[in-house]
Structure 1
Amino acid sequence: MLFFAVWSFPLFLFAADERRVSRVEWANVDGWMEGAWSSRLRSPHDALMSRLWGRLKLSADVGDVYAYAAFDAMHNWRIDGESGFSFHEAWLEYVGKGWDVRAGRQVIIWGKADGVQVTDLVSPPDYTEFITRDLEEVRQAVDAAKVRLLGENVDVEMIWIPSFRPAVLPSGDNPWVVDSGLPAGVSVTGVEAREPDVSLENSEFALRVSAYLPGFDVAASVFSAWDDYPVMHRKVVRHEGRTLVSFSPRYHRVTVFGLEFSRPWADFVFRGEMAYLAGRFFEPDELTGVPLRKNSLSWLGGIDWTPGGDWSVIGQLTGVVIFGYDPALEQDEHSLALTLHVMKKLFRQTVSLSSMVYYYPADNDFFERIKLEYDLDDNWGLQAGVDVFGGAGSSFGVYRNNSQAWFKARYSF
């Protein structure tokens, strides 16, 4: 938290200025505790999720300065590496006239998509339990300084991230680790990926300009960053009928140019996002192949429909195009995915029933989450659902044995 302390100091100087503030206007302590458990739908019907998770949130408003910190504590009976204490967020914010600055560990959210990340790339994901966690639990906070210039119709957001934080993938005893399925006669060795050192040269920078026009919102962004995932560079040696593959994973820089918009009309909201990624590496189709650097375009188009009666329907079509395509790559030149999110609120909006489906038509690959939520009162909430994986593809079909029924109980205070 050295970065947080350094950036907090000048903000505390603002707070200490008697001309700006004379007292702490308010302080607040809240948070939640949640127990979650699941059972695999297929034999051996073991628990894929078994954890107790708590978050304590502290905040205070000192004149023009707002302080916030959130601490996590978890005991995970299924995934050993998840148990322990950690900082989720810890930052200070100073609000000026037409501008503000926030410094510290913070979650940064971009984009307008539902359950899909296209331009929402600033906070790296945590896929410890693949995509079965809510997106707010998937996003990791980053140590950053963020300055916003707030105009009447246009906002400008500038972000500096001096320290790199990678995406988290399942490892060790995690049941979401995918079996590599090495072919006969092949052995694999490797080393841990080395993260970029903390320096000005290795910093990440982002700029986003948002315009709020009559009946139309649009935003353009550029993000110079390290790819959240290491590139699996490899050396292949063949000797006496055997093949040895030695991996040397390395992180590489990418530049992301983003565009997003939304347009309401009657009972509908039309949304779109595009992200042009320059200089990203793609994995080869063969284990002994070579990763190739290509430019790509990720895009999304979506429609939100609220027909009344507490119904909500969100449909999205997303895709990825790889420019200068090479058939040796694992990913197709063009890929499409569809999502459909249907929700109905019942009993004076205390109960909601929803279904979220992800579908890749090329492989008939799909994931569906059916969820029932019940708010008992202002403190207690219950959730129950089913996650179903299927298809022949590598995105969801490989997890078909991890289809599960689950239950959560949360107490908020």
Structure 2
Amino acid sequence: MFLPTPPSYRHLMAASAIIVGAALPARAELFDNLEFSGIFETHTALAFKGTELQTSQFSLTPELSFDISPTMRFTLIGRLRGDLKDRLEPGAPSNFSRTTFNDRLFLGDQLDAEIREAYIDTEIGSSYLRLGKQQIVWGQADGLKVLDILNPQSFREFILPEFEDSRIPLWSVNAEIPIGELTLQLVWIPDTTYDDIPDQGSTFAFTSPLMVPQAPVGVPITFARTNKPSKVISDSDVGVKLSAFLDGWDLSLNYAYHYFDRPVVRRFITGEGVAIHQDYMRSHLIGGTFSNVFGDFTLRGELGYATNRYFQTDDIGDLDGVVRSNDFSYVLGLDYSGITDWFLSAQVFQSFLSNHEPDMIRGSVDTSITFLARRNFMNEALTAEALLIQSLSDGDGLLQLAVTYEWKSNVRLKAGADIFYGKKRGLFGQFREADRLTAGIEVAF
């Protein structure tokens, strides 16, 4: 079921899904068990610096679902996306980080199509099973991730889009099995697709020394081919989650054996300059989540311990420019909804390294806080939201402002701003020249 599809057929399937979806009538129910819906959305971003358009794009996301049998349902979600400016991914990206059966079809430099999700839901006794291309979400933190590592992420627009839109769905087997008061989730992911990282020259290309090695000015740099896992069985990711609801607490215990989705970037000094090598490394992740409601407050959190993480150094004499360490991280959040039409949320995120050396660019402890404020107006037709992510360790951060107006039941108007600040060496400060105003329209059918 999960064997690679030859490229010619794969591309035909992706294009056909989009074309067939676009041709069907709006909100069609052709048969009792067949439903069609979708979203058409525009997204325009005007850069603060130079007042140039950063992106002017549209996306069409059709969804088709139907019953195969009384206990089995199939869902197909496609996406056709175009960008008139072509600055987020200049040219046609190589898609090297994706597997053959999970890549995108590029129709020129400004248009791409893909099957976002394609899965079968079924039941076997009291157990639930989903087979196919899907998103599997662990954790519920805003803006920052601890346990949500099963699906890779597209950094086409850094972390600005919603996680649901930036996650890369994977061909997976996802089973949920009730065991008394507990639920056991078993996940197998044979799809060796990893993060989409923008190439140099893209608007959101990584430049921070926290993420990419630095070389002295004028020193030649050569790039070796990335060593990417490709074996369906031996390079698979697996995950196990045990969840329960006990005395008002939602609890889970999570474990994953997976490849970290961003490659380790190693820097080697040679007689001809600097050579860059990249490879993906295995990691064990063990952690858990908890949440409970206390009146108008919700307390929630997640924690994880990850092995074999790699961090950049600024020592040119270092052998490969990275240090291996285990990483313990947690996020603690408090939500408040006790004021009419308001929702407030605050989070503390911390990461601790088990092995820290003086020449490492990142500190042994990394601390960030987030604050989210949302206010509804006009009987919830108008929503205003502000999300602040502040790094206390590096002094940089991100402020996202958004206003959404429900003009009709199926039409929403959007406007907002994304503002980066801080030193360029920081995770957020590296994009301080990419500040922008945004506007768009979303039409559901």
Pairwise same-fold verdict (TM > 0.5): yes
* Counterpart mapping for 1:87-236 below 5 A: 87-151=115-179, 153-179=181-207, 182-236=215-269
Specify the SS of the correspondent of 2:338: strand
Alignment-derived partner of residue 327 in structure 1? 358
Q: Does 1:272 align with 2:276?
A: no
Q: Matches of 1:158 and 1:412 in 2, distance apart? A: 34
Change beyond 3 A, Cα 1:344–1:306: same
Shift of 1:358: 0.3
Matched to 1:186, the amino acid is V
Instruction: Give, in angstroms, the shift of residue 26 of structure 1.
Output: 1.3
Find the aligned partners of 1:4 and 1:170 in 2 and give their Cα distance: 25
Contact 2:56 2:85 in 1 (8 A): yes
Corresponding residue for 2:439? 407
Question: Aligned to 1:147, what secondary structure does the other structure show?
Answer: strand
Aligned-residue offset at 1:111: 0.4
What is the Cα deviation at residue 2 of structure 1? Answer: 4.1
SS at match of 1:186: coil
1:13 maps to none
Select which of 401, 405, 408 maps to 1:370: 401
**In 2, Cα distance between equivalents of 1:271 and 1:104:** 30
**Distance in 2 (alpha carbons) for counterparts of 1:174 and 1:185:** 22
Matched-pair contact (CA < 8 Å) for 2:249–2:290: yes
8 Å contact from structure 1 (residues 286, 330) kept in 2: no
* 1:130-174: CA deviation from partner (whole Å, max 9, x where unpaired): 112111111110111111102453111001111211111111542
Q: CA deviation at 1:77?
A: 1.8
The answer to whether structure 1 residue 252 and structure 2 residue 284 are counterparts is no
- Residue 48 of structure 2 corresponds to residue 49 of structure 1: no
Quote the offset at 1:198 in angstroms.
2.1
Whether the 8 Å CA contact 1:65–1:93 is kept in 2: the answer is yes
Cα separation, partners in 2 of 1:3 and 1:269, compared to 1, 3 Å: farther
Contact 1:4 1:143 in 2 (8 A): no
TM-score (norm 2): 0.84
- Read off the aligned partner of 1:56 and give its amino acid letter: P
Instruction: For 2:83, give the aligned amino acid.
Output: N
- Rounded Cα–Cα distance in structure 1 between residues aligned with 2:186 and 2:314: 38
CA distance in 2, matches of 1:297, 1:288: 28
Report the alpha carbon displacement of residue 409 of structure 1 after superposing the two structures with TM. 0.4
C-alpha distance 377-153 of structure 1, shift in aligned 2 (>3 A): farther
Equivalent position SS for 2:51: coil
| 1:182 positional shift | 4.3
Mapped partners of 2:251, 2:257: distance in 1: 20
CA distance in structure 1 between the aligned counterparts of 2:369 and 2:317, rounded to whole angstroms: 32
Q: Tell me how far 1:288 sits from its aligned partner.
A: 5.5
1:380 to 402, 411, 428: 411
> In structure 2, what is the equivalent of residue 77 of structure 1?
84
Match of 1:18 in 2: none
Q: 1:30 aligns with which of 18, 32, 37?
A: 37
| Among candidates 375, 383, 386, match of residue 355 of structure 1 | 386
Tell me the distance in 1 between the aligned counterparts of 2:76 and 2:159: 26
Percent of aligned pairs with the same residue? 22
TM-score, normalised to structure 1's length?
0.90
- Indicate if the aligned counterparts of 2:143 and 2:159 stay in contact, CA closer than 8 A: no
Q: Using the alignment, how far apart are the partners of 1:224 and 1:182 within structure 2?
A: 33
Deviations 1:194-232 (A, max 9, x none): 321223221111000011113101101110001101111
Q: Check the 8 A contact 1:4/1:104 in 2, yes or no.
A: no
C-alpha distance in 1, partners of 2:244/2:2? 35
Aligned to 1:400, the other structure's residue is in SS state: helix
Gaps of 5+ in 2: 6-30, 93-109, 209-213
How many residue pairs align between the two structures?
390
Specify the alignment match of 1:63 in structure 2: 70
